[in-house]
Amino acid sequence: DAGVIQSPRHEVTEMGQEVTLRCKPISGHNSLFWYRQTMMRGLELLIYFNNNVPIDDSGMPEDRFSAKMPNASFSTLKIQPSEPRDSAVYFCASSPVWGGGTEAFFGQGTRLTVV
Amino acid sequence: SQKIEQNSEALNIQEGKTATLTCNYTNYSPAYLQWYRQDPGRGPVFLLLIRENEKEKRKERLKVTFDTTLKQSLFHITASQPADSATYLCALPNDYKLSFGAGTTVTVRA
């Protein structure tokens, strides 16, 4: 398996523009997580899906952020409108069956720069 | 509030020595604790899991201890090599969430 695949790897956009980050989890994994990583705040969980259903989006910073998982093999994280403070590395991770100590498999991340 | 604290300073060690990293937590009652490695420009990669009823876990040159009384885990890299240079993160479960510490950056000098 190719692992968790994220696209794009790098994104530079202007403030106010819409940004869409994409993730393909590992086949057969039923849990999917979106994290954001910055120097100041480290790795923060934004949202968690189980079997394509959003379970908890309390980590989503504002209404400007939204996430979807239309099927088991695809998820998106959208920021509209984007702001410079959204600049960070965004990671998608998947897990076979969450709970009981299952490890999380991370993608390579998308480095977002909002200018 | 819940906190996960790792060595605040980066660790610089000589090749062949043992690196010891600390993960302290408050207001958690984890059934297990995980350690991940992160290289620059890459996502974290799982290394080891230790359960609350396990005192110690080993994997090759890595050793993890877990003291639920002290609320602390220690992560050891023995016979360190330059290839071990990376950031190491501890992670604790909280319901369905996996919360991470800030990480400790280890640099092994040849």
> Which range among A75-79, B15-19, B28-32, B43-47 shows the weakest confidence by mean pLDDT?
B28-32
- Segment A16-32 shows an average pLDDT of 96
> A100 falls in which pLDDT band (50, 70, 90)?
low
| pLDDT number for residue A99 | 65
Distance from CA of B79 to the nearest CA of A (A): 26
For residue B103, what is the nearest residue in chain A, using CA coordinates?
A42
Residue B58 reports pLDDT greater than 70: yes
Q: Do A56 and B45 touch (CB under 8 A)?
A: no
| pLDDT number for residue A2 | 83
Query: B4-27 pLDDT, tens per residue?
Result: 999 878 999 999 999 999 999 999
- Segment A27-33 shows an average pLDDT of 93
Q: Do A55 and B96 touch (CB under 8 A)?
A: yes
H or E stretch including A26?
none
Query: What residues of A are in contact with residue B91 (Cβ under 8 Å)?
Result: 104
Domains in chain B (CATH in brackets) are 3-109 (2.60.40.10)
User: Which residues contact residue A66 at a Cβ distance below 8 angstroms, ignoring those fewer than 6 apart?
Assistant: A60, A77, A78, A80
User: Which residues contact residue B1 at a Cβ distance below 8 angstroms, ignoring those fewer than 6 apart?
Assistant: B27
Query: How much of chain B, in percent, has pLDDT values that exceed 90?
Result: 85
Residue B99 reports pLDDT greater than 80: yes
Query: What residues of B are in contact with residue A93 (Cβ under 8 Å)?
Result: 43
Query: B73-93 pLDDT, tens per residue?
Result: 999 999 999 999 999 999 998
Q: Which long-range contacts (CB under 8 A, 24 or more apart) does B51-57 make?
A: B51/A101
Q: Do A4 and B43 touch (CB under 8 A)?
A: yes
Residues of B with CB under 8 A from a CB of A: 31-32, 34, 41-46, 49, 51, 89, 91, 93, 96-103
- Segment A19-31 shows an average pLDDT of 96
Amino acid identity of residue A56, one-letter, is: D
Give the C-alpha distances (Å, rounded to integers) separating B17 from A36, A41, A47, B6: 33, 31, 40, 20
CB A46 within 8 A of CB A67: yes
- Segment B53-76 shows an average pLDDT of 95
